[in-house]
Amino acid sequence: MKKYLSLIKFSHTIFAMPFAMIGFFLAVWHEGYPFSLQKLLLVVSCMVFGRSASMAFNRILDAEYDKENPRTAKREIPTGVIKKSSASIFTMLCVLAFVISSFFLNTLCFILSPVALLVILGYSYTKRFTHLSHFILGLGLSLAPIGAYIAVTGQFSFLPILLAIAVLCWVSGFDIIYALQDEAFDLKNQLHSIPVWLGKKKALFLSSFVHVLCFFSLMGIGSKANFGIWYWIGLGIFTLLLIYQHIIVKPNDLSRVNVAFFTTNGIASVIFAAFVMVEIF
């Protein structure tokens, strides 16, 4: 179990899960639906199984590249800790569990589950043909708040879509920063990324720009929902943490990329969600 949790980087679930919770409780609060523990657990189940399938599939598809890249050579499949065949079975089981969980939520969630799988699994191919793969990753994680909202209401609404746009920009921005580490490797192996396309300096500028868009999207949510002081405090802290990660990563100094990527963004999402929950309740 420990090996598979490492394979899918289970701890990284913390990036999208808080926004799924915001989407869920926005539906309960904004639309007046009764709270359902069963639906909440099914949403968490969809999140865990969907993300696990996506990560495992990515590891299978990128195994040969991971083996050649010094940064990723010690991952479970390149080292033989987990066989490709075993990872494939794990992926299929996670896909099945995701679809079953969506079935028990409501009809719309079940109908849209193949679309969600197409995005989150299809992301793994995008680095082979487009520099915009970071935005496909962002799109995949942005489905979390929309899916959680639909799980409660059975319909689309403007607020969760605005929240999804914020997540898309947030994730895309920090994934561009993370990709700076592999610029030389990607260029050598004809893989696509924003740093390969624009270079480190312009890539960081684009990352900053999409994070500004994230900020304005979250401001729009606060205004549209008439949120009070707790929401705006949470947004203020979230914004400061976004700024911090851009301060500590420089084109000529990537030594703190992991701090920016893992620690800062994990803290940012949890703190922001906590303040939104306080505001809602």
Alpha carbon of 15 to those of 20, 145, 266: distances in Å? 10, 12, 6
pLDDT tens-place string over residues 138-180 = 999 999 999 999 999 999 999 999 999 999 999 999 999 999 9
Rounded Cα distance, 265 and 14, in Å: 9
Show me where the domains of the chain are located.
2-280
Per-run averaged pLDDT (10 residues), the chain, 281 residues = 82 84 92 92 96 95 94 92 95 97 97 97 96 96 96 93 97 95 94 96 97 97 95 97 94 85 88 95 87
pLDDT of the residue at 114: 97
Question: What pLDDT does residue 225 have?
Answer: 92
Domain 2-280 fold is Tetracycline Repressor; domain 2 (1.10.357)
How high is the pLDDT of residue 7? 83
Q: How far apart are CA 75 and CA 82, in angstroms?
A: 9
Q: What is residue 32's predicted lDDT score, i.e. its pLDDT? A: 85
Q: What pLDDT does residue 183 have?
A: 94
